[in-house]
Amino acid sequence: MIDRLRHLVTDAFSNLGRAGWGGLASVCTIAVAFLIVGIFLLLTQNLGAALAQWREQYQVTVFLDDRITPEQLALLRKRIANEQAVRALAYISKDQGLRAFKQELQGREGLLEGLGENPIPASFQLRIREEHQTPQALRQLAASLGRLEGVEEVQYGQEWVDRMAAALQVVRLIGLSVGIALGAASLLIVSNTVRLAIYARAEEIEILRLVGATKATIRLPFLLEGLIQGAVGAALALGLLYGAYWVTLSKLQMGPGPVVGLGLGSFLPGAAAAALVGAGAALGAFGSLLSVGRLLRA
């Protein structure tokens, strides 16, 4: 069994060598296809990581009416704390808000000297549970809180939330579409490469049939050839992607992980990288199967 397997693998590599430029073109096409797919995977992974970290720190700000009474404030705090979407809340007084605003001005506090009284309203800073951080849920929460007595305005960055969620969805859809298109092109090229190899070995295949070789014995080397082409192409794409990843980080003068403070910059995890190579091997094997099944029917 081991000798037979060794012979099949040797035969497959021999076929790949005979394929010449056709085999090289097949490997390069698969590499380009999986490189582009890998880029989209990295984009979606890092955008998803940024969105997850942002969601962890996300806040809804409920600005309060300056005329609110202590009794109304206590009732409002209790009412907001009982909201299912609210994970935690903190009260920011007018003085605290002004101090925070001055810190944000960073040395330009003089701009506030002519304002007279404190223009910053008191507010509640709300931490929202992740399952409620969708555009629709946030709109509903903001509308509900905005109707409460003592609430002046509710801000939660609706436009930013909508854009971030939409951008991530668009990247995923584009990646899926491009991946399907390039996968189909790679499948066709592998199939044609193996078909040419079958035509080139037509006499040898006929001799094998005459001496009683089984269909599996004839077909397996070609299937392995396609599998190897796919695996090598995907592995090459993974190597190029990893090199581009490190070059990009070095250009940005940042290390992997906390790029721009958003948890970006992480490479594909080991399981995803292995799955990418496995998908390439499966694609190549399936492309071979299409040609082998069509041309070697007995």
Give DSSP secondary structure letters for 112-159. GGGG-S--PPPEEEEEE-GGG-SHHHHHHHHHHHHTSTTEEEEE--HH
For residues 225 and 283, membership in a common domain is answered with yes
> Does residue 154 sit within a domain?
no
Residue 114 has which token pair?
Answer: 């002519």
Asked whether residue 237 carries a pLDDT value surpassing 60, the answer given is yes
Residue 218 contacts residue 204 (beta carbons within 8 Å): no
- Same-domain check for residues 45 and 70: no
pLDDT score for 262? 39
- Using pLDDT thresholds of 50, 70 and 90, give the confidence band for residue 200: low
| Res 260: pLDDT | 38
Residue 191 shares a structural domain with residue 68: no
What's the domain count of the chain? 2
**What domain range includes position 178?**
2-53+162-295
Q: Reply yes or no on whether the pLDDT at 197 is more than 70.
A: no
* 44-47 CB contacts, 8 Å cutoff, 24+ apart: 44/168, 44/171, 44/172, 44/175, 45/266, 45/268, 45/272, 46/264, 46/265, 46/266, 47/167, 47/168, 47/171
Is residue 67 domain-shared with residue 215, that is, in the same domain? no
pLDDT over threshold 50, residue 24? yes
Residues 12 and 86 in one domain: no
Domain end call among 113, 132, 151: 132
Task: Give the tokens for residue 237.
Answer: 């794409």
Q: Specify the 3-state DSSP secondary structure of 86.
A: strand
Residues 45 and 171 in one domain: yes
Q: Which long-range contacts (CB under 8 A, 24 or more apart) does 20-26 make?
A: 22/192, 22/193, 22/196, 23/193, 23/225, 23/229, 25/189, 25/193, 26/186, 26/189, 26/190, 26/193, 26/229, 26/233, 26/284
| Residues near 222 by beta carbon (within 8 Å), at least 6 away in sequence | 12, 15, 194, 197, 198, 288, 291, 292, 296
Q: Please indicate, yes or no, if residue 216 is contained in any of the structural domains.
A: yes
Residue 144: inside a domain: no
Chosen domain end from 116, 132, 148 = 132
Give backbone dihedrals phi and psi of 124, rounded to 5 degrees, phi first: -110, 130
DSSP state of 87: E
Is a pLDDT exceeding 50 seen at residue 182? yes
Whether residue 252 has pLDDT greater than 50: yes
Within a domain: 143: no
Confidence of residue 4 (pLDDT cuts 50, 70, 90): low
Residue 138: inside a domain, yes or no? no
Same domain, 23 and 171: yes
Residues 193 and 261 placed together within one structural domain of the fold: yes
In a domain, 139, yes or no: no
36 and 12, same structural domain?
A: yes
pLDDT score recorded for residue 78: 92
Q: 45 and 181, same structural domain? A: yes
Q: Indicate if the pLDDT at residue 61 is higher than 50.
A: yes
Query: Do 66 and 181 belong together in one domain?
Result: no
Tell whether 275 is covered by a domain.
Answer: yes
**Secondary structure (3-state) at 238:** helix
Residue 151 lies in a domain: no
Instruction: Give me the CATH number covering residue 63.
Output: 3.30.70.3040
Q: Both 120 and 237 in a single domain?
A: no
Across all residues in the chain, what is the average pLDDT?
A: 76
Of 132, 150, 175, the residue that ends a domain is: 132
Query: pLDDT band at 259, cuts 50/70/90?
Result: very low
112 or 102: which leads in pLDDT: 102
Residue 79, pLDDT score? 92
Q: What pTM, to 2 d.p., does this model score?
A: 0.61
